[in-house]
Amino acid sequence: MIDKELLSRVLAEMLGGGGSFAEIYTQKNRNNSLKLEDSKIENAVSGFDLGCGLRLWRDDSIFYAYVDSVKKKDLLDAARALARISKSETNARSIEINANQSLGDRSLVMPSAVDNDYKKNLLLKVDKVTRDYSQNIAQVSAYISDSEQEIHIANSNGVSSYFTLQKVILSVSAIAKRKKEIRTGHKSYAKTLGYEIFEQKKPEDVALEAAATAVKMLEARGAPTGEMPVVIGPAFGGVIFHEACGHGLEADAVIKDASVFKGKIGKKIASDVVTAIDDPSLKGHWGYYGFDDEGCRSSETVLIKDGCLMEYMHDLKSAVKLNQSQTGNGRRQSYRYMPYPRMSNTYIANGKSDPKDILGSVNRGIYAKEFAGGQVDPATGDFVFGISEGYMVENGKIAYPIKGATLIGNGPQVLKKIEMVGNDLAFAPGFCGKNGQSLANEVGQPTIKVSNMTVGGTET
Amino acid sequence: MPENFRDIIKYAADKISKRGVDEFEVYAISSKENQIEVYQQDIESLSFSESSGIGIRIINNCSVGYAYTSFLEKHQILDCIDRAVANAQATNSEEFNTLPQSDDYLYPAKQGEQKLSFDNNFFNYTMNDKALAAKKLEYATKARDKRIIGISNSSYQDSEAEIILINSNGFFDSYKKSWCYLYVNAISRSGEDTSTGDYFGYGKHLGEIDIENIAGNAAQKSVSVLGGKKIKSRKADLLLHPLVGAQFLSLIAGALAADSIQKRKSLFRGKLSEKLFSLDIDIYDDGVMPSGLASSPFDGEGVYKGKTAVFEKGVLKTYLYNTYTARKDGTKSTGNASRSSYRSVPSVGINNFYIKPGKSSFEKILSSMDEGFYVLDIIGLHSGANPVSGDISVGAKGIWVEKGILSYPVKEVTIATDFLSLLKSIKEVGDNLSFMPLNGFMGSPALLIDKVMISGT
């Protein structure tokens, strides 16, 4: 998108103010989305973004600027402004961009090859299938969104990484109503691939899962309150690890003394049955990338092995600061943002227990199947999660659905209370917010059992 | 702003008008933004940007298409127009899909002056002043209490923008907007227990922000819950901090958008003219409030704004409308078409939305409580509250109240209720209105709530 000569020149100009590291992140992104609601295609939006983020490092400070442009004048102006603001004596040096790594991840069916009619029919089919599921379905909304991106990162260490990415997401929300009861069901299907993803899973199946949840929840009774054993279901259940522990393992929190896991490398932080991994290199997964947003090749990072803390997730800055190697977790929402250590595809690895035995071991407790999401304070590890599909468990069996339940607890404490880990690992896509940036993330988990947690409900 | 920004917009409008579409709109934003984060009195990061982009909305045969571009080269603008036109062929045709005309306006005249959303004092502050403010805030917060062991974030952010809207009905207007924001998060420790507390301040320029006030509030929020313990599950009265009240109010505000009502996704459907509060509470959505961060002369599709009484004496008076939803209900737009940037289609949103303060001071309400929970902070609002079903279940921390006195800190509990019960159970409204930015600008005084389920051990 920008020639090598100009890249070198911009990097050199940036370093003119005495900085030690300079980087240019160039991104082109085309995206399209269609939204259905009330059985109508309500919105069709196409977007085009092209621009550069310039990052300069001087001592411990980061200076950042972005421009909605790839033009020579705009880039040089921004580079000079950065040099000026990072100030002091001139320390010009010439920059050679050597190492050239590139990755062209071409989808079988590129988003740009798929027209609106295809997407429109897909959404209309989703609407019909959802409504046909039950006469109690009162409303359906669904959207399909895709993007095609080109990213090029060049920095003063000589790195030059170019890659392309395609993403497709289908999301379905169903609302079921019976008398005064209103319940919702939600399901997303998302991959870092092209439209061939619907050969693996039919849009109708995504719709049916959303509809089934909404209708099933019409039977829900008020959730219990107080401490009890909690079984957390596979796939999206992994969001609990993502929030409660994952964020505390991102190294920027550790550096600022804002993580409960600071100083715990090599120490036992979880029960023996827990092994947790972050792996951006899982092809096709929603949190997949070949290079991170600093141009570092992605690879698997084992965070916790058999209960022992192995490693934090790093971006370049935290790796240098803590004298560790980069883990390929430097991510950003777009060229408009600075990178930070972020999770990608984060999961708890398979254990040995049969999910049936896990449920069978609970006398009175909760089975949390789907979550509406959660939030954590990484400095304390305190978290909450809203359960969107949950059940009361009595005598080892699912008794009835519950509504309005929340789980509250503390990440490090919960890690120690994981008693059983199932063998049914599955993944689910989502979005994660941090520092005002929202990113595609995938979570994964087999069925697990936590010996006790506080459940917030309305019934005593 | 690019020197020729207005020319670019006119160029786009001119090219679209030659396409023979029924209606069109070009929404353009040009902005400058700064963000500074300090850590241990050094600049941790400093970022700045100048950016501009346009969003094009086409209406053809009552179908809407949208496209945007951040790259304002002529060929990209032409491509953007092509895409918007093509997208208008994919969406459903509906008679209510039209751009606003003067008889759609509830508030026909422009009530807002330029100073409503912009203050020239904004230019009086240099990057250095801004960095210094964040450093002062970090220092002042840490100095407040020995138990504060660190500041995980002390930051300054600002934005200066010009919004220009042109449409095929002859609307062509613009306004400028400035805002700045300081934020701090303090980590405190006592023995084994760690706690955090954050606070913020905002204004149209740096001089409007009271740094000491932010520092004091953040420090107090952080240390006052140190050593917090769980309590037994029970029903108890809640005293909500104004900013906790504002967060609950944001849920309710979203469910009052006509869009949610028309799509049967809101509990407020069919409740117009009903008294939903037990008290005579007034709630306003004010698009032209002089001190409001969400104030501007016109909304996201060029409809002039005003002050709308949503609840009067506890009775639901109106929903909030943009042009589309207003036409559908045979009424007028309340000026609530909102859009977060040129990248998004206008939807129905909130301006400055607040509960009118009552007469009781915070101290008086507190002293009237026999037993209850003073809620200082809630977490998990976006996942723990379902705007459709109205269920609310969130994590909370705060201080237990006994015989009118703040007695001991409480944490790791949840509070659970639902929208309609929450409205009904407000027993008292304080006199201390505070605002926070939350999909609009939400304001609430302290609220005393009757008997809510708290879950602990």
ipTM score: 0.91
Strand partners, B161: B31, B177
List pLDDT tens digits, range B316-375.
Answer: 999 999 999 999 999 999 999 999 899 999 999 999 999 999 999 999 999 999 999 999
Identify the pLDDT of residue A98: 66
List pLDDT tens digits, range B214-262.
Answer: 999 999 999 999 999 999 999 999 999 999 999 999 999 999 999 999 9
With CB atoms and an 8 Å threshold, state whether A382 touches B87.
no
- What is the pairing mode between strands A301-305 and A308-309? antiparallel
Q: Helix, strand, or coil here: B368? A: helix
Tokens for A266, please give them. Answer: 């090599």
DSSP B51-109: EEEEEEEEEETTEEEEEEES---HHHHHHHHHHHHHHTTTSPP-TT-----GGGBSS-S
Tokens for A57, please give them. Answer: 């490092």
Distance (Å) from the alpha carbon of A460 to chain B's nearest alpha carbon: 8
Distance (Å) from the alpha carbon of B243 to chain A's nearest alpha carbon: 18
- Percent of chain A past pLDDT 70, that is, above it, reads 97
With CB atoms and an 8 Å threshold, state whether A455 touches B455.
yes
A121: pLDDT strictly greater than 60: yes
Q: What is the Cα–Cα distance from A36 to B125, expressed in whole angstroms? A: 46
Q: Cite the DSSP H helix spans in A134-185.
A: none
In the 8-state DSSP scheme, what is residue A223? P
Q: Which of A111, A218, A216 is nearest to A170 (CA)?
A: A111
With CB atoms and an 8 Å threshold, state whether B383 touches A386.
yes
CB A423 within 8 A of CB B429: no
List pLDDT tens digits, range A410-449.
Answer: 999 999 999 999 999 999 999 999 999 999 999 999 999 9
B2 close contact with A: CB closer than 8 A: no
The one-letter code for the residue type at A81 is A
Distance (Å) from the alpha carbon of B391 to chain A's nearest alpha carbon: 6
Neighbouring C-beta atoms of residue B17, cutoff 10 Å: 11
CB A5 within 8 A of CB A118: no
Give Cα B92 distance to the centre of its chain: 31
B102: pLDDT strictly greater than 90: no
Could you identify the residue written with the tokens 């003394």?
Answer: A257
Of B83, B195, B389, the CB nearest to A183: B389
Q: At what angle do helices A4-14 and A72-86 cross, to 10 degrees?
A: 20
Contacts of B24 (CB under 8 A, 6+ apart): B13, B16, B17, B56, B57, B58, B59, B167, B168
What backbone torsions phi and psi does residue A87 show, to the nearest 5 degrees? 45, -160
Strand partners, A25: A53, A153
Element (H, E) at A174: strand A160-178
B209 close contact with A: CB closer than 8 A: no
Give Cα B302 distance to the centre of its chain: 20
Chain A CB contacts of B415 under 8 Å are 456
CA closest to A373 among chain B residues? B383
Rounded average pLDDT over A192-203: 96
Chain A CB contacts of B394 under 8 Å are 384, 406, 456
Q: What is the Cα–Cα distance from A29 to A41, expressed in whole angstroms? A: 24
Residue A189 — pLDDT band, cuts 50, 70, 90?
Answer: very high
Q: Give the CA distances from residue B366 to residues B190, B374, B434, B435, in Å, rounded to whole numbers and listed in that order.
A: 27, 9, 18, 21
Q: What is the Cα–Cα distance from A189 to A207, expressed in whole angstroms? A: 10
Q: Helix, strand, or coil here: B433? A: coil
- Percent of chain A past pLDDT 90, that is, above it, reads 85
Give Cα A135 distance to the centre of its chain: 35
Could you identify the residue written with the tokens 């209708």?
Answer: A215
What backbone torsions phi and psi does residue B267 show, to the nearest 5 degrees? -70, -15
With CB atoms and an 8 Å threshold, state whether A45 touches B76.
no
In the 8-state DSSP scheme, what is residue A297? B
Torsion of CA A356, A361, A365, A371, to 10 degrees: -40
Q: Give the CA distances from residue A69 to residues A48, A84, A239, B6, B389, in Å, rounded to whole numbers and listed in that order.
A: 12, 20, 37, 18, 45
CB A103 within 8 A of CB A88: no
Element (H, E) at B424: helix B419-424
Strand partners, B356: none
Identify the pLDDT of residue B80: 97
Q: What is the Cα–Cα distance from B181 to B90, expressed in whole angstroms? A: 41
- What is the pairing mode between strands A364-377 and A301-305? unpaired
Distance (Å) from the alpha carbon of A88 to chain B's nearest alpha carbon: 15
Q: What is the Cα–Cα distance from B133 to A23, expressed in whole angstroms? A: 28
In the 8-state DSSP scheme, what is residue A15? G
Neighbouring C-beta atoms of residue A344, cutoff 10 Å: 28
List pLDDT tens digits, range B18-75.
Answer: 999 999 999 999 999 999 999 999 999 999 999 999 999 999 999 999 999 999 999 9
Q: What is the Cα–Cα distance from B280 to B291, expressed in whole angstroms? A: 25
